[in-house]
Amino acid sequence: MESDITKFLSYEIKKELAERYFGFRKLIEEDKDTLKKDLRHSNQTIGNRIVLDLSRLYILLQDESLIDQFLNLTGLGEKFFYDPYILTSPTIRARVFSGVKAKGLTASGRFKNLLMCLYEALIKDIEEYRERLTELIDSQKTIEEEIKIFSQNNDIGSIIGFLRNIDGDKSTHGSLEGGISSGFSESLENKMKVPPPPRVIEELPILPPLTPLPQIKKEIKKLAEQAFKLHKNGFSM
């Protein structure tokens, strides 16, 4: 009779511990999954728009020196998503400029206007990207705080030790059956630790805010004039 009671108590205690532990852990894992999905979505939407913006600008500028001047002038600095191959590939050029229209009476005028319009589009997309990046980093920090609080309230070592004390040694009179071995408890403790969420800055690059067009419009036009001359037979849309 006493053995049945101790088995029942052991089962109820372990059940309560498990429900509390895995219930909270499930919520954290759901938050982590949501963050991963948001990272993928941001990369596939805003990220892809920025890649397209920059690819178009790189193709227009053509020359490495002009590209570097543009990056320094705008504050972008680094050649994000740059591949020299896109400068010479007619296929890529046709694909990235498909459906793009430029206004102007002359070819050179349309070229200048197009370069400035694309830069304004890049500014807008990077602003949205930076806002989204801040939200994702905040989500990451929230999950890290959740894990910290969860770990404090559910110390795995203490739980394992508590269960071992409940189970006790089989040779001890009145102990509960089903002892937890030391080696198994260490392995279980490692498996029960909650892994951290993905680090946003390792998944997505940090892009700086860009210089507003009105502040560098004159310099952008000069770059456009130089770049236009590099396109053989002009740049037709």
On whether the CB atoms of residues 67 and 195 are closer than 8 A, the answer is no
3-state helix, strand, coil in the chain (%, to 5): 75, 0, 25
| pLDDT of res. 23 | 72
Rg of the chain taking only CA atoms, in angstroms: 30
- Please classify residue 192 by burial: count the beta carbons closer than 10 Å to its beta carbon, then call 0-12 exposed, 13-18 middle and 19+ buried: middle
- pLDDT at residue 3 above 50? yes
pLDDT above 90 for 18: no
Q: Positive or negative, the Cα torsion across 212, 218, 221, 223? A: negative
| Predicted confidence (pLDDT) per residue in 116-148, tens digit | 999 999 999 999 999 999 999 999 999 999 898
What is the predicted pLDDT for the residue at 170? 45
Q: Are 38 and 136 in contact (CB under 8 A)?
A: yes
- In this structure, is the dihedral angle defined by the CA atoms of residues 106, 225, 65 and 73, taken in order, positive or negative? negative
Q: What pLDDT sits at residue 172?
A: 40
70: pLDDT strictly greater than 70 = yes
Q: In this prediction, what percent of the chain has a pLDDT beyond 90?
A: 55
pLDDT of residue 209: 95
Residue with structure tokens 């004039």? 225
Average pLDDT over residues 92-115: 90
End-to-end Cα distance, the chain: 90
More confident residue, 134 or 189: 134
The two structure tokens encoding residue 42 = 């941001």
Angle between helices 107-153 and 48-61 in degrees, nearest 10: 150
List the domain boundaries for the chain. 2-230
213-224 average pLDDT score: 95
Instruction: Please check whether residue 197 is in contact with residue 35, taking contact to mean a CB–CB distance below 8 angstroms.
Output: yes
| pLDDT above 60 for 188 | no
Provide the pLDDT for residue 195. Answer: 87
Give the confidence band of 178 by pLDDT, cuts at 50, 70, 90: very low
Q: Binning pLDDT at 50, 70 and 90, where does residue 64 land?
A: very high
Name the nearest CA neighbour of 154 among 24, 38, 35, 57.
24
134-137, long-range: CB < 8 A, 24+ apart: 136/35, 136/38, 136/39, 136/42, 136/200, 136/204, 137/200, 137/201
**Contact in structure between 54 and 82 (CB atoms under 8 Å):** yes
Residue 132 token pair: 């989204």
